[in-house]
Structure 1
Amino acid sequence: MSSPSSPARGRPARLDRARTLQTALDLLNQSGLDALTMRRLADAMEVRAGALYRYFATKQDLLTAMAERMMEGVTEAAVADGGDWSEQLTALARAERDALLAHRDGARVFAGTHATGASVLGFAEAFVGVLREAGFRDDAAARALYTVVNYTVGHTLEEQAALQPGDGAPEGASTLHDAVTAGTYPHLNATLPTLTSTDFTGLFEFGLDLLIEGLRARHAPSAGK
């Protein structure tokens, strides 16, 4: 008689790294990061929980691999259209956000890891390369990478937290609206429609544009140099 965490008799479970990762991403999309456990993953694959450790020694190892998988193809899609350095950086940031939004709690998974696989490092290589080839100093290019990636991940983290599956509207916006209107906050009241807006793409683009223009003003090489 088989148990939920062991394969049925006479039908060996097909266990490999790629299938394990895909199943983990499926579970993430179904139930979110908090519900993703090694035991639940093993049950979904009809194997004993210990079998998963052949590929992932810890859950953190699994999450790191999931973050890497999320970034597959992102760089190629972002740089396909070319453009100047600012257009390429904008495309890379947008592509990263889209990749994280494609998975429930994608930003939470990515933020808690330090993936160093070909997809993540390829993204970083492309980003830094765009700036260095445009004449940015090495230190400015590296710091710009951290700044834009941290902004993108942080923004997406808040975006996904606000729009949990099944709600359709962010609970935080309603809470903020009630708190502001109940108090004496004239400046917040004047800007409340924007503060409580669910136009997360517009908000992301505003911040990204500020970062790009800041890089242009402070670090871009002068024309003719």
Structure 2
Amino acid sequence: MKEVADTPRRPGRPAQISREQIVEAVATFDNIDTITMRQLAERLEVRHGALYRWVKSRDELFDLISEVVVDRVLSAVELDSSGWRAQLRQLALLIREHFLALPGYASHLSRPHVHNTHSVDRLRRACIDVFIKGGISHQHAEQSWLIFITSMISWLAVEEQPVTIGHVTPRFDLFLGVLLRGLPTQDSDVAA
């Protein structure tokens, strides 16, 4: 078994696993909600106690996952002057790619739980900046963020657990088009 010698909590020898490796190991499971810390340690080929140097509980594991996922999304997005809808489309596609890469992650996020406020806030600020650059006031940008992220996570949870209604399979492209057309382009687009 590998041994984890360095963690964010203790200096020492260079780490043999990283946050990225932990998240990659999580991605190999069928469902994030069914993972035990012991199973994750085995998958990483580290001692159970060594994993606890990184994360001491499932809540901390989900915090670590959220940090890594948000890092991946924000490092890949190119926020420029191409227009707020194009930027949100790019952000939505990256969120979808990275959230669905971890089976059960979107479903977990869609249920009430304590969110990693640091990671969520970084993603929130990026979206709000896009809305504000598009001419929306800060107050309406906050509301648009809530609509955007709530809709995205709910949709991705449906994609993870596909439910066919009649013979219709949910299509992300149609969902995203409707979502982006429905968000206000300026304060005057917001109904009182």
Pairing of 1:1-225 with structure 2 (within 5 A): 7=1, 13-16=3-6, 19=18, 22-80=21-79, 82-111=81-110, 112=113, 114-117=115-118, 120-162=120-162, 172-173=163-164, 176-177=165-166, 193=167, 196-197=168-169, 200=170, 203-216=171-184, 219-220=186-187
What is the alpha-carbon distance in structure 2 between the residues aligned to residue 208 and residue 42 of structure 1? 37
Aligned partner letter, 1:69: V
Alpha-carbon distance, 1:129 to partner: 0.8
Q: Give a deviation string over 1:45-73, Cα, whole Å, max 9, x none.
A: 44443333322221111112112212223
Secondary structure of the corresponding residue to residue 161 of structure 2? helix
Residue 116 to residue 76, structure 1, CA distance change in 2 (3 Å): same
CA contact (8 A) 2:55 2:61 kept: yes
What is the alpha-carbon distance in structure 2 between the residues aligned to residue 87 and residue 24 of structure 1? 29
CA contact (8 A) 1:108 1:157 kept: yes
Residue 54 to residue 205, structure 1, CA distance change in 2 (3 Å): same
CA contact (8 A) 1:135 1:221 kept: no
Could you tell me which runs of 5 or more consecutive residues in structure 2 were left unpaired when the two chains were aligned: 8-16
Q: Give a deviation string over 1:79-136, Cα, whole Å, max 9, x none.
A: 256411122122212221121122222313444551234x643332221011112221
What is the alpha-carbon distance in structure 2 between the residues aligned to residue 143 and residue 136 of structure 1? 10
Most deviating of 34-43 and 138-147 = 34-43
Alpha-carbon distance, 1:221 to partner: 5.2
Residue 23 to residue 103, structure 1, CA distance change in 2 (3 Å): same
Number of equivalent positions: 178
What is the alpha-carbon distance in structure 1 between the residues aligned to residue 88 and residue 132 of structure 2? 12
CA contact (8 A) 1:28 1:36 kept: no
Aligned partner letter, 1:127: C
CA RMSD of aligned residues (A): 2.8
What is the alpha-carbon distance in structure 2 between the residues aligned to residue 15 and residue 45 of structure 1? 14
Residue 39 to residue 145, structure 1, CA distance change in 2 (3 Å): same
Structure-1-length-normalised TM-score:
0.66
What is the alpha-carbon distance in structure 2 between the residues aligned to residue 109 and residue 68 of structure 1? 15
Structure-2-length-normalised TM-score:
0.75
Residue 20 to residue 95, structure 1, CA distance change in 2 (3 Å): closer
| Higher Rg of the two aligned structures | 1
Partner of 1:187: none
Alpha-carbon distance, 1:15 to partner: 4.8
Q: Give a deviation string over 1:12-37, Cα, whole Å, max 9, x none.
A: 61355553652353244233224310
